[in-house]
Structure 1
């Protein structure tokens, strides 16, 4: 009887034992398909859960909550199984951050990263290339858009069969949201970025635009915007090697084809990624950033393979140069702290360019079958290789000096929250008091006539500066500028900066007046003011001489006088964030604290 029970137990147990020892299927949905499928969101996250269970060197973590209600995932690959960023930095390892799916209709990086992380741990030859770095990956940044799966919204793109949508749940383009930070996605991203402080950041994309022979193009952080020690390393060492290695791999690469005129033969212009974009944001924190852009008209299989290969090259390069990159970043931070002048806006130097080889297709014009007008076309039967101009030099056209401190009234919590999220240290006043400060008044600006990402952006901002004794209150925020993330601070708080909080309409309420005058009453006041103030009378006469139409506009003359009288509100057009050029008094007020 005993042997019969033993046999029965064995027969029942064997299938369970077999299941327990069965290796998980680590082929990706892309690999199981025909080369023209990309993983769904559920497939992608389930796959990384399998990697987390199969390899102790992998951890899958969750951060925040995106606008669609799901957390943002982060995959960490650490060969030493250390998953705390502070410990990793103490080990003097570099952190490479790869982000995918910001535009889920451009999914090559999603599929390439799934295969790559598995291969890094399964293939013994990779061990030597993972000794000096930790890799972190956002599997899908725009979860909202990836769940909005379809087969039509990328009208100009060749595959895959179905994919996600560019906008997120609030219909925001997340690659315009890095500074204004309106999405839950961006808030979770900033939590990741500030916690991990990556050395190199790579965000995968697919391009639109001209037709040409390349599968892969590349946007690198604009070299002139980086701290020079980092800009020189990236431009003179990293980029030449990236291009050379991609050539060897069978995927010749060129800078992103941002044509100066209609076609690339007119020359291409280095893309100026302001801080609204991922790599522009990363540059504020001395992180070298890259946006690889595969070409929309190349087969999806080639686009995935070229992305996989480029990510391989980044890993090998960062691992090999880990010591150098660490020293250069430390030097860049030291230089940033010493810096007294900060560029806020940049302009292209059209007199400087270099000649680079370009493999394109002959372009022409022919009659449109739709409109009957001339239309552009590229003839793939006429490939060419010739030199074209590459314009890649930018110069600052607005620069500001660094004050010792800023004071931000507590009335602006949206601004204060964003500064805190990005690692800005601040203190609060303990008492109400008057302080001597430098105040900006907005003297000119333009804004968009149609909304861009939900905003009528302000641009071409001009200011005048005045000295004021300003009333501050207990709880108002003091921010000293002798801190590491000072560049983020200046490029968000200085109103002339291209992606400042003022540019993104955070302070638009200061642009409207709150008090006015009744003309029939103010007539007598205005006459009295002109009689008593000869200088004001002369200013009015000069204004009428320069603008004759003012002579017949009675209200405009009254308003001219009103705006120069004690009755006019001094808060109109007064920028609420003030500069403290010399902060010794402020430090005393705060008890010497920073």
Structure 2
């Protein structure tokens, strides 16, 4: 009998050791590799039937994106889970593999929940083990120059040197497409994307960026600001990790005040906002030891689970109401600005900052004195207001040639329909009047901004197979913030439609001179417009080429598609012949 007991004890000890993560085995100094993480999750899924490891799509590195699903009642079908009114909590790790706390914390959390039979009743947990697989293989110990451990870690850029936390709209990476497939298949109510900060020194291990409250649907925002965020702060303080909003200083040090972070849809939590999902970007402090950062992340993920389980019915009902509201919503903001007149005060635990001579240059340099901690009241600006707002059309019409835009709409659960027959349809078209373009590439694009449009009502020819996207959907925010060119992260701003900005035909001046002269003789109104322009603009009056161009652009010879945005707006609810 004693031998059996000893054998069982030995077996249990061996099992416990086998279930240790690489992080734990290293004495909490190393983060796991991609291969070790996937093997670990595969073994968990084999051992515990309440877990399942799925794969989706591919990545630029040629490997699929994995998703571990933890379900207490062993239901792994997202449609069935929604029918059961359970909530889905999605955790994304390693979008920046040099910020790996979430990778290791999630492995331990999954094991502990399964091993201790503590999976929540009303919450299904989905974990992306390591999103930027590509960058995780580019392992080093120097690229995060200011960070205190681990020994080695991955690189921020992926195989294409893309920052994947700027790729949720343009989708230049296969990683992004695979993530969007996961997100829109599972449709989580709460999303967390784990990170590590850069910047000032202060006492906190964990800082937090929630979805920007003013951008989030008001139903969700009320719960976020009045319940979810305060309770997270309270739970984390009780666990020994008091938090502060992400330290986005307006000056050189936090004492000057901080501002909220406005995440446009290129970012993970900006993207999830378009789908009425409450998102969070926790940022552990880079200068704190790696073991503290992992522990704080572990405890924060636990705190989310506790609150989501407690409020599961409320969270689900809020999401349902928000979706209904957005489907019927008429006015949509496209850009946001910080209201500098509204300011709050918050307590802040920092370190005294000072200046001393640099040993490199001899000039004064900033430093923080950790022997002089303080608690001060600082200012926080966190009120954002719409700067551009539009009224939605009945629908958007998109010629079938623009296949990347169509594919991304479909990937994001947007219902698209197609014309059955050729048709002439009265629409509102935008002509691109003005825009700015970056002088250097940003994430592989020369990004546009400051777009001005000139709306024109006209009847255009469309063809069988062209797409119609009605704006009566829960995905309205995604539709409008990608298809309206003025929106910060619109498809237009990410260069999807740049070819419409080029003229394809022009004229030989010496030939068109005679044509233009005849046009002015036959068209007194055009002649009057030309004379009016000359009288108002002395420079124009002295420039013969400019006057010839004016006649050309105001004639039927000028190509009507130049600068015409190809996505038109249907303003009247006319019956269309659809497939």
TM-score range normalised by the length of the shorter chain: over 0.9
Matches within 5 A, 1:178-577: 178-544=168-534, 547-577=537-567
1:432 deviation in Å?
1.5
Alignment of 1:62 with 2:49, yes or no, is: no
Contact 2:394–2:572, Cα closer than 8 Å, also in 1? yes
1:37 deviation in Å?
0.7
1:238-288 residue CA offsets vs partner (Å, 9 max, x unmatched): 111111111111111111111123222221111001111111111111100
Alignment of 1:50 with 2:40, yes or no, is: no
2:3 is aligned to none
2:66 is aligned to 73
Q: Which moved more, 1:551-560 or 1:54-63?
A: 551-560
CA distance in 1, matches of 2:357, 2:466: 64
1:362 deviation in Å?
2.4
1:429-478 residue CA offsets vs partner (Å, 9 max, x unmatched): 12222111111111010011101110011110011111111011111111
Q: Indicate the SS of the match to 1:400.
A: strand
Q: Indicate the SS of the match to 1:585.
A: coil
Alignment of 1:23 with 2:11, yes or no, is: no
Alignment of 1:91 with 2:84, yes or no, is: yes
Q: Indicate the SS of the match to 1:291.
A: strand
Q: Indicate the SS of the match to 2:548.
A: helix
1:488-508 residue CA offsets vs partner (Å, 9 max, x unmatched): 111111111101100100000
Instruction: Describe the shift of the 1:392–1:545 C-alpha distance in structure 2 as closer, same or farther (beyond 3 A).
Output: farther
1:49 deviation in Å?
1.0
1:89-146 residue CA offsets vs partner (Å, 9 max, x unmatched): 111111000010000000000000000111112235x35xx11111000000001111
Contact 2:326–2:473, Cα closer than 8 Å, also in 1? no
1:21 deviation in Å?
12
CA distance in 1, matches of 2:20, 2:11: 18
CA distance in 2, matches of 1:383, 1:537: 76
Unpaired segments ≥5 residues, structure 1? 1-14
Contact 2:70–2:126, Cα closer than 8 Å, also in 1? yes
Q: Which moved more, 1:147-156 or 1:287-296?
A: 147-156
Instruction: Describe the shift of the 1:21–1:155 C-alpha distance in structure 2 as closer, same or farther (beyond 3 A).
Output: closer
CA distance in 2, matches of 1:546, 1:268: 49
1:565 deviation in Å?
1.5
Instruction: Describe the shift of the 1:513–1:367 C-alpha distance in structure 2 as closer, same or farther (beyond 3 A).
Output: farther
Matches within 5 A, 1:110-129: 110-123=103-116, 126=118
Unpaired segments ≥5 residues, structure 2? 1-6
Instruction: Give the count of matched residue pairs.
Output: 570
CA distance in 2, matches of 1:395, 1:443: 25
CA distance in 2, matches of 1:71, 1:469: 46
CA distance in 1, matches of 2:380, 2:520: 60
Contact 2:208–2:283, Cα closer than 8 Å, also in 1? yes
CA distance in 2, matches of 1:70, 1:335: 39
1:299 deviation in Å?
0.6
Q: Which moved more, 1:160-169 or 1:365-374?
A: 365-374
Contact 2:168–2:271, Cα closer than 8 Å, also in 1? yes
Q: Indicate the SS of the match to 1:385.
A: strand
TM-score w.r.t. the length of structure 2 is 0.95
Instruction: Describe the shift of the 1:521–1:373 C-alpha distance in structure 2 as closer, same or farther (beyond 3 A).
Output: farther
Q: Which moved more, 1:550-559 or 1:319-328?
A: 550-559
CA distance in 1, matches of 2:552, 2:61: 51
Q: Indicate the SS of the match to 2:271.
A: helix
Q: Which moved more, 1:539-548 or 1:247-256?
A: 539-548
1:543 deviation in Å?
4.1
CA distance in 2, matches of 1:152, 1:558: 60
1:578 is aligned to 568
Alignment of 1:151 with 2:141, yes or no, is: yes
CA distance in 2, matches of 1:354, 1:251: 23
